Each structure stands twice: as structure tokens, then as C-alpha cells.
Amino acid sequence: MPRHSEVPRREPASSSPNNQDVFIWSLYQLGGSDNDVDVEAIYLRSFELAPGRLGWRTRPELPDYKKTAKALQAAEARTHVGLVHRTSKYLRRLTSAGVIWVNDNR
């Protein structure tokens, strides 16, 4: 039987906004269903989609990489397990389960 961390997420997108959903949507919008995408591009797109959530506290016009990096870590390890494939240290791509999840939650 697969461990919990190996079972892809099947739950829909959250009813309230969260940074992990934003990360997955950003990866998809940047072509992550077909191509490897650099995490820095995903961080920037995530900030563009949710600047109020992912900006600095004192300079909200600036992206806070720690918040976006934390969203990536949480998505990969806890909240969206099985939806993102780490192709290298800095590159990510949606898995087939990730593409299905995005299409089901448009």
C-alpha cells in the first residue's frame, strides 16, 4: 500500500485562497503541463496572481521569495502531494495527476 505522501491529491482547490493553490495555478499558466519551469518564474507568476498574499509586509509591491518558497515546499510535501514533479533543483513540472487536478478545478 502506498504511503500517504505518495498518493496524489484528489481534493478540489480550496474554497478560500491559499498559497499552494496559487503555486499550482502559476506552474500551469507557465506551461508546466508540458515543460519544465524554473521555480523563480513560478514564484514571480504566483506573486503577480496574489500580490497581497505573497508580497513583503512593509513593501507589498515586492515579492517575498520566502513565502513563495514555503508554498512550494508545502505543496510538494503536504498539501498537493503528487501534483508536482521536481525535475531538478530549480525546475518543476506538473505530473499527469497535477494536470488532471488543474483541469478539474478551473
Confidence of residue 59 (pLDDT cuts 50, 70, 90): very high
**Could you tell me the pTM of the whole model?**
0.83
Pairing of strands 37-38, 91-94: antiparallel
**What is the pLDDT at residue 106?**
81
**What is the pLDDT at residue 79?**
83
> For residue 50, how many C-alpha atoms fall within 13 Å in the half-sphere facing its CB?
21
DSSP three-state, residue 88:
strand
Residue 68 pLDDT > 50: yes
Residue 43 pLDDT > 50: yes
d(CA 58, CA 11): 34
**What is the pLDDT at residue 4?**
44
Mean pLDDT over 64-72 rounds to 91
